[in-house]
Amino acid sequence: MQLGDIEIELVQKDIKNVHLSVMPPAGRVRIAAPLHLSEDTIRLYAISKLGWIRTQQRKIRGQARESKRLFLNKETHYFQGRKYLLRIHFNETPSRIILKKKYIDLHVRPGTSQEQCQVIMDAWYRNELKKIVPQIIAYWQPKIGVQVKDWGIKKMRTKWGTCNIEERRLWLNLELAKKPLECLEYIVVHEMIHILERRHNDKFLYYMNKYSPQWKAIKEKLNSLPVGG
């Protein structure tokens, strides 16, 4: 559904009420509406909420963003919610990253480009997520009562995570490596609960409140943090 310059994802399903969401990190708009409502009725509802939608989008789009990383000495980088200063070491050994108390030490060969440094950093973030995500999944599987068959990591512009319910596969945003561990865990739990309930309905919210009572505060924290530039 298109309202001027605002594109709205419309989903009609077996629910009682209309649910309007403006979602970080890009301000994507989504309406979930009951099956019996006509598209004209939903459009009128959306028009009545245009002011609120634009306000929420301004807040989200005005959220602090990381500038493009230039991979210079003393540049700020994030890992698990903490700031680190980058130190670049040029040598002829294979590239590697060493995390220290206040620093991320990046060892690369002379002549390594910014783009290559980004690839090395992304690979490190990915490997760090691969260390911790299986532990989170293993912890929550018996608590929630679901089995995750597979999971993966990729760069996503509009979502922190997704769940392929039929295949029981989770996808997680690479950016989560930069966020506090509680934020990563919140997203994993959120996507695992989708295996129990596909929709963001009352049943889904019941499970979220049951298994992650602090989820609203963690969600707010995650959405207040700087997002990738």
Average pLDDT over residues 117-143: 97
Any domain includes 95: no
Domain co-membership, 47 together with 141: no
* 123 and 206 inside one domain: yes
* 118 shares a domain with 53: no
State the distance between the two ends of the chain, measured CA to CA, in whole angstroms.
28
Mean pLDDT of the chain: 92
Predicted local distance difference test score (pLDDT) of residue 78:
95
Residue 143 belongs to some domain of the structure: yes
In which element (H, E) is residue 12 found? strand 6-13
- Which of 229, 200, 195, 228 minimizes the C-alpha distance to 215? 200
Q: For residue 65, what pLDDT is reported? A: 62
What number is the average pLDDT over the span 108-128?
96
If asked whether residues 117 and 220 sit together in one domain, one would say yes
Place of tokens 């030490």: 105
Judgement on whether residues 145 and 207 belong to the same structural domain of the protein: yes
Question: Is the pLDDT higher at 125 or at 62?
Answer: 125
> In terms of Cα–Cα distance, which of 63, 92, 67 is closest to 77?
67
Q: What is the mean pLDDT of residues 222-226?
A: 80
Same domain, 128 and 213: yes
Domain boundary among 29, 45, 61: 61
Does 4 or 37 have the greater pLDDT score? 37
Q: What is the pLDDT of residue 62?
A: 67
Average pLDDT of span 82-106: 96
Domain assignment of residue 56, yes or no: yes
The answer to whether position 208 is within a domain reads yes
Contacts of 58 (CB under 8 A, 6+ apart): none
Confidence category of residue 228, pLDDT binned at 50, 70, 90: low
Contacts of residue 109, defined as CB under 8 A and 6 or more positions apart, other chains included, come to 90, 91, 92, 93, 95
153 forms bridges with which residues in the sheet? 172
Task: Say whether both 121 and 201 belong to one domain.
Answer: yes
What pLDDT score was predicted for residue 157? 75
Asked if 219 and 136 sit in the same domain, the reply is yes
Residue 159 is which amino acid? Answer: K
**100 in a domain, yes or no?**
no
Q: What is the rounded CA–CA span in Å between residue 175 and residue 70?
A: 17
Which one of 41, 61, 81 terminates a domain?
61
Q: Verify that 216 and 141 share a domain, yes or no.
A: yes
Please name the residue that has the structure tokens 């005005």.
Answer: 62
* Residue 85 forms part of a structural domain: no
Q: Is the pLDDT of residue 195 over 80?
A: yes
Query: 217 and 119, same structural domain?
Result: yes
200 and 140 within one domain: yes
What domain range includes position 199?
A: 113-224
CATH number, residue 179? 3.30.2010.10
Q: What is the pLDDT of residue 25?
A: 66
List, for residues 42-67, the tens digit of each pLDDT value.
999 999 999 999 988 887 776 656 66
Q: What is the pLDDT of residues 152-183, one digit of tens each?
A: 999 987 789 999 999 999 999 999 999 999 99
Residue 56 is predicted with a pLDDT of 85
Neighbours of 189 (CB within 10 A): 22
Instruction: Please check whether residues 122 and 29 belong to one and the same domain.
Output: no
Cβ atoms < 10 Å from Cβ of 213: 9
Closest by CA position to 88, among listed 77, 188, 214, 26: 77
Instruction: Please tell me which residue, 15 or 135, carries the higher pLDDT value.
Output: 135
Residue 11 in domain: yes
Structural domain count of the chain: 2
Q: What is the pLDDT at residue 226?
A: 72
How large a percentage of the chain has pLDDT more than 70? 96
Q: Does 55 fall in a domain?
A: yes
Looking at residue 77, its pLDDT comes to 95
Percent of the chain exceeding pLDDT 90 equals: 77
